[in-house]
Amino acid sequence: MKPRYRVTLTEQERQELDALTKRGKTSAKRFLYARALLLCDAGQQGPAWSVANTAEALGVTPRTIEHLKKRFVEDGLGAALDRRQPEKPPRDVTFDGAFEA
């Protein structure tokens, strides 16, 4: 099956992701996403792994890799690496005396 989203990293993005994976102070999820993007890179420098192979190597589902690639292509590198903010704020629930009764 042909991939829906094609990840092609620029040299600057590739260096940033490479530095992110080699630095010691990176959260596990950011490290995982950075590594996945490096493996899926279909540019001249990238290995262009398939979604299934990348998912198996990193221990995640292929759907996770597809979602990551979609976020990268549509929203850019920053959005792909960081968690998306919720669109609406959480409900502010206060417990008062009427609730207790």
Residues 12-42: pLDDT tens digits? 999 999 999 998 888 999 999 999 999 999 8
Specify the pTM: 0.80
The average pLDDT across 72-85 equals 88
Interior/surface letters 28-62, b for 16+ CB within 10 angstroms, e for the rest: eebbbbbbbbbbbbeeeebebbebeebbeebeeee
Is residue 49 within 8 A of residue 39, CB to CB? The reply is yes
Question: Reduced to 3 states, what is the DSSP secondary structure of residue 54?
Answer: helix
Which residue's structure tokens are 């596990």?
28
So what's the pLDDT on residue 38? Answer: 94
Is residue 57 within 8 A of residue 49, CB to CB? The reply is yes
